[in-house]
Structure 1
Amino acid sequence: MDVLMSLLGLAGGLGLFIFGIQLCSEGLQKAAAHRIRQLIKTLTNKPLLGVLLGTILTFALQGSNAVSAMVVGFVSANLMTLSQALGVFLGSAIGTSITTQLISFKTTGLALAFLFIGMILYMFSKRSKIRSIGQTVLGFGLLLYGMFVMSSAMTPVKDYPIVVQTLINLEHYPILEFLVALIVTTIIQSSPAFLALMMSLAAHQLISPYAIIPFVLGAHLGGTVTGVISSIGTPGYDAKRAAIANFIFKLLTGLVCLPFYKPLTSLMLLSSNDLNRQIANVHTLFSVLMVLGFLPFTAPIAQVMERLLPSKKVDLGEAVYLDQSLLEIPELAVNQASLQTLEMARILNEEMLARTVLVLKYGNEEVMDRIDEVEPAIDQLYRKISRYLTSLGNNRLSDDLMQRSIEILYVANDLEHIGDIMSNIVKHARKAQIEESVFSAEGLAELELMFGEVHDRFNLALKAFANHDEGSAMRVIKEHPRILRLEKELRFNHFDRMQGGNQKTITTSAEHLDLIENFLRIDGHAVNIAQVVVGIV
């Protein structure tokens, strides 16, 4: 019965520890996500600064997984090179070591203080930022208290010689220890949590000092497996390269150090008399050795990864920016949705709108077929962006992020409607082709004129959305009446030519007027996009 209760206590303490990590990470992201993004942009110019950044972020966010997701997002967005990302990954190992060092001390009183302070801030503050800070403090308190629960749960186990001897004898099977640590860390998705589990055993002398290094190396590697698995389903190749490179760093460190675990253990024993401190110290040692060994070679390693995993042409409907692993970081997920919306706009612009004149002038069959191929891809991208943003969940978003996600949905929806309009324009062009009707020279010139105006305004609206340029957005909005007047003028000119007996104008009247109407609708959607930028939604 005591053993069962110990196992339940161990599981409960581990649950508190992992939940504390999650609360701490989410709270900090809500409180300072924008500043974190700015920090990433400014501290990655030099490899050493990248290591420092990885260290700070991993300790602050209480997990290398969150940092990995954030960094991969910046690589995908071309805000950071793969080489810079590798430096940050190396630093994240040291950040995990700082957490390990902290939990190696007896901090029960500190845990209770954090829980009380965090509860006060979270429960009684009306300001969202203060509540987020409270959530962070509360999470840190749970983390430390979970450590205490695990350690306390192991107290009765030392009275069972068979269990104690089995655990102690593991020191003779370093490869088994390495694999156990690798598998357990992969399952619980947290190397600090596994190390905390080790410390709870070490506090009661339930593991041998010679078991520590294989366990630590296995946990070191296990913390990267989740990133590799999650990157498999992502369309972006940089995500795969970064995750695999991080895995290789830890794997090579393990392969180099594991054969020398006995002399390394002798060195570890000199660092402290406390077994928990020894665990923390050896984890720090491996992290520092990994940085020293790989940091000078991040650039060539990045080049090798790019050769091993070359980018391939992706389908137009492939959502290259919507990495599911980034949903754990709402600030970055919303940013990725914005980037995907801009990519959707680029495809719409280059593959559809830019080809409109060719359709009007020549009825080019190949161009019309291409536009028909692209339209379903635009619909597909809109659905993927919508699902991605709605999967974030309203309760996890700050008011600012909620507003941004709604704005992105507005813009993506307008782009999808423009795709439908372009498909409609192709239908009119095909109809004119079948009926062998040709626009008059004057009518064609007017259609080109109006489309040129609308296309320029659409590009300006997109630029305003991409750069959050309210000045450009207001230009689009204020000049819309001019487009309305142009539409009326061109419609009048068309009827005037009909009255004059222009046979081509008479034959193509329905198609001509429908095209003008479609161009006006495109301009209306450009205005909608501009209104999003200035906050009129």
Structure 2
Amino acid sequence: MEMALSTINFQQMAFTFLGGLGLFLFCIKYMGDGLQIAAGDRLKYILDKYTTSPFLGVLVGIFVTALIQSSSGTSVITIGLVGAGLLTLRQAIGIIMGANIGTTITTFIIGFNISKYALPILFVGAFCLFFVKIEKVNNIGRILFGFGGVFFSLTLMSGAMAPLKYLPEFKNVMVSLSKSPILGVFIGTTVTVMVQASSATISVLQNIYQEGLIPLKAGLPVLFGDNIGTTITAIIAVIGSNTSAKRLAASHVMFNVIGTLIFLIFLSPFAMFIAKMEQILHLNPKMTIAFAHGSFNIFTTVLLFPFIGVLEFLVVKLIREKKEDEDEAYKTGLDMALITAPVIALGQVKQELLTMSGFALKNFKNSVSFFFDRDEKMFGIVEKREEKINTVDQEITKYLALLSKQDFGEKEGEEIATYLDLCRDIERIGDHAHGIVKDVKYGISKKFKFSDAAYEEIKELEEIVENMIETATAALKESSVDKAVEVIDLHNKEREKEKKIRKSHIKRLSEQSCEIKAGLSFVDLVLHFTRIADHTRNIAEKVLENRV
């Protein structure tokens, strides 16, 4: 029996559907945030330790996506890690492949169709959030509220779409989709690009298929299109990022497009396989779409996994590295999309601090080189890099301020405070390196002359302080207590050396083998070395206190 157009309230349908979709998007993200907070340090540890090979990357991609309930979220996190230099392109491609499999877990959960329990789950979640003052219980409430909301929103969307089955026009569109798989892919891609969540568009497809509004063979190309559409999030995430991040986004698009092309060629056999499995496993309609989604992503990963090297080669050829000066071209890898994932965001901040420390070390070496060689070009290089250090300092401080407003555990709060202190110390090392070149330039203009002994003393100081910065950076990178202790020992050595230098300097002044004005300039120069050593010691102490 077909329903007349006049008996269908299209406004109510549209409002209910859009409200349900909005609720779904909010709840899937809210649940993902709760799962991320619960995972805490484990998420960071897994990404750091278990991505040494592409195969492990696939497993990590599955796990992390299942954890945060968003393949787009995993893609954005992975792009951030590649951009910050924490992952290689090959490792990251493996994670993206795994993310595609991991996202099917959401559709399988929806396939269980526990919508009748949605409202009680919502209530339990709200109770844990608002009536209990224990942080862990609050977080469980966040997860349950999101979980219940997902199923309630599905009920709303399903109810809104139910009258469409009576419309002959809608049936005609579905029949034309069956005849044109390319059109189905286009619709799936377009809708996912608009909604920015493949789990939402696939859940809509599950509802449509459950209501009998679309045949399986017409639904599968839409499903393939959903997988292509989800890559647009990755593309948006790399706007303004470095070459590595752009290459990863391109590999994500290529992976899903190649998979879709393969399955379009074998659409009929694949549809027959899914229909047969639906009968054998007694799958409900929603679970059938979930099974098709899982099969598509697993088969695509298995088929393309041996060609990760080829995929990497293609994207490297496609997106070439711009040959610019390393420091000049540098942009921070701090990704605003990761603000909602504090554990990962702090990993990025640490990487930026290491980069900033590298810049400060280069400026220290160049400033001492300027003292010895008097090469004017070196002054300009240090000036430019000092601007870069200040910019990175501002970016990190701003990022940490935004991060401090997010939900996180006590440990993450302590890390934010520690990173702010580290940022200040590294920036001050850069300032004193800049101070050295300014003092040397002033000395050149005044034609100050230093004794051979003075040059030798500066060389000895340089060796100790340079070693200190390098060791402190390594201690920070590896959270190494041994290296941090080594920095403290070097600091004591620097102090002893400074005392000897001051005594020798006073002796030279009393013997008048050194000009008074040049002597005062030399004291200022030594003071810069001492201050750099002090700030470097601060870094080591933070490592000892917090194991950052």
Q: What is the TM-score of this pair, normalised by structure 2?
A: 0.88
- Given residue 221 of structure 1, which amino acid in structure 2 is its aligned partner? I
State whether structure 2 residue 422 is matched by structure 1 residue 411: yes
Q: State which of 450, 468, 472 in structure 2 corresponds to 1:457.
A: 468
Q: 1:99 aligns with which of 79, 89, 106?
A: 106
Offset at residue 121 of structure 1 (A) = 3.7
SS in 2 for 1:206: coil
Q: Does 1:394 align with 2:405?
A: yes
Deviation at 1:197, TM superposition (A): 1.2
Establish whether residue 508 from structure 1 lines up as the match of residue 518 from structure 2.
yes
2:342 is aligned to 330
How many aligned residue pairs are there? Answer: 534
In structure 2, the partner of 1:246 is 252
Matches of 1:480 and 1:239, distance apart in 2: 39
The question of whether the paired residues in 2 share the 8 Å contact of 1:440 and 1:505 is answered with no
Q: Structure 1 residues 334, 169: CA separation in 2 closer, same or farther (over 3 Å shift)?
A: same
Letter in 2 for 1:299: G
For 2:221 and 2:91, how far apart are their aligned partners in 1? 30
Note the alpha carbon deviations across 1:426-484, whole angstroms, 9 max, x for none. 12211222222211223333333334333333333333322323454456457757655
Counterpart-to-counterpart distance in 2, 1:91 and 1:443: 60
Q: In the alignment, does 2:192 pair up with 1:185?
A: yes
CA displacement at 1:404 relative to structure 2: 1.4
Q: Distance in 2 between matches of 1:334 and 1:316?
A: 23
> What amino acid is aligned across from residue 272 of structure 1 in structure 2?
E
1:379 to 381, 390, 395: 390
Whether contact under 8 Å (2:83, 2:241) holds in the other structure is: no
1:293 pairs with 2:303: yes
**What is the match of residue 3 of structure 2?**
none
Alpha-carbon displacement from aligned partner over 1:95-149 (angstroms, at most 9, x marks no partner): 2223212212321134345334433443445443443333223222222222122
Match of 1:31 among 29, 32, 38: 38
Query: Partner of 2:4 in structure 1?
Result: none
Query: What's the counterpart of residue 490 of structure 1?
Result: 501
CA separation in 1, counterparts of 2:512 and 2:63?
77
Whichever residue aligns with residue 242 of structure 1, its letter is: L
Counterparts of 2:80 and 2:140, CA distance in 1? 24
Q: Distance in 2 between matches of 1:478 and 1:394?
A: 38
Which residue does the alignment assign to 1:520?
530
Q: How much does 1:360 deviate?
A: 2.4
Q: What corresponds to 2:358 in structure 1?
A: 346
**Structure 1 CA distance, aligned partners of 2:451 and 2:522?**
10
C-alpha separation in 2, matches of 1:83 and 1:484:
46
Residue 344 of structure 2 is aligned to residue 360 of structure 1: no
Corresponding residue for residue 160 of structure 2: 153
The CA deviation at 1:339 is 0.7
Which of 204, 219, 226 pairs up with 1:212? Answer: 219
Shift of 1:246: 1.6
Judged with a 3 Å threshold, the aligned counterparts in structure 2 of structure 1 residues 239 and 477 are, in CA distance, closer, same or farther, namely same
Rounded Cα–Cα distance in structure 2 between residues aligned with 1:491 and 1:11:
76
2:331 pairs with one of 286, 299, 319: 319
Deviation at 1:489, TM superposition (A): 4.8
Mapped to 2, the partners of 1:332 and 1:77 lie a distance apart of 11
Mark the CA change 1:39 to 1:421 in structure 2 (over 3 Å): closer, same or farther.
closer
Q: How far did residue 218 of structure 1 move?
A: 0.7
Matched, 1:467 2:485: no
Q: Is the 8 A contact 2:44 2:347 kept in 1?
A: no
What is aligned with 1:426?
437
Please say if residues 79 and 238 of structure 2, whose CA atoms lie closer than 8 Å, have aligned partners that are also in contact. no
Q: Secondary structure at the residue paired with 1:271?
A: helix
The 3 A distance-change label for structure 1 pair 112 and 52 is farther
| Cα separation, 2, equivalents of 1:490 and 1:45 | 48
**Partner deviation per Cα, 1:257-287 (whole Å, 9 max, x = no partner):** 2355455434433333644333223222211
Q: Deviations over 1:331-382 (max 9, x none)?
A: 1111111111111111221x22123432223323232332223211111221
Q: In the alignment, what sits opposite 1:3? A: 10
Pick which of 209-218 and 65-74 moved more.
Answer: 65-74
Indicate conservation of the 8 Å contact 1:461/1:476, yes or no. Answer: yes
Measured in 1, the distance between the counterparts of 2:68 and 2:181 equals 31
Give the counterpart letter for 2:349 in structure 1: A
Query: Counterpart of 1:118?
Result: 125
Distance apart, 1:78 and its partner CA:
5.4
Deviates more, 1:212-221 or 1:49-58: 49-58
Report the alpha carbon displacement of residue 64 of structure 1 after superposing the two structures with TM: 0.6
- Once structures 1 and 2 are overlaid, which stretch shifts more, 327-336 or 132-141? 132-141
CA distances 1:232-266 after superposition (whole Å, capped 9, x unpaired): 3212x332222211211111122232355455434
Distance 2:491 2:260 in 1: 64
8 Å Cα contact 1:112/1:141 also seen in 2: yes
| Residue 390 to residue 319, structure 1, CA distance change in 2 (3 Å) | farther
1:184-204: per-residue Cα shift (whole Å, max 9, x none)?
101211111101112222333
**After superposition, what is the alpha-carbon deviation per residue over 1:72-108, rounded to whole angstroms, capped at 9, x for unaligned?**
3444565544333323322222222232122123211
Q: Aligned pair in 2 of structure 1 residues 501, 36: CA closer, same or farther (>3 Å)?
A: closer
> Equivalents in 2 of 1:395, 1:320: separation in Å?
21
Amino acid at match of 2:141: G
TM-score scaled by length of structure 1: 0.90
Range with greater deviation from structure 2 (131-140 or 152-161) = 152-161
CA–CA distance in structure 2, aligned partners of residues 530 and 91 of structure 1: 38
Q: Gaps spanning 5+ residues in structure 2: where?
A: 1-7
Distance in 1 of aligned mates of 2:61 and 2:533:
45
Residue 509 to residue 41, structure 1, CA distance change in 2 (3 Å): closer
Q: Quick one: distance in 2 between partners of 1:384 and 1:455?
A: 26
1:256 aligns with 2:245: no
Distance 1:307 1:355 in 2: 35
Q: RMSD value over aligned CA atoms?
A: 2.9
Displacement, 1:169? Answer: 4.6
Paired with 2:522 and 2:440, the residues of 1 have a C-alpha distance of 10
Q: 1:520 to 1:392 in 2, by over 3 A?
A: same
Mapped to 2, the partners of 1:89 and 1:481 lie a distance apart of: 48
Q: Name which of structure 1's ranges 511-520 and 354-363 shifts more when overlaid on structure 2.
A: 354-363
* 2:119–2:152 CA contact under 8 A, matched in 1: yes
Does the 8 Å CA contact 1:330/1:397 hold for their aligned counterparts?
Answer: yes
Q: Which of 433, 438, 442 matches 2:449?
A: 438
Shift of 1:521: 1.9
CA gap of 1:418–1:57, structure 2 versus 1, over 3 A, is: closer
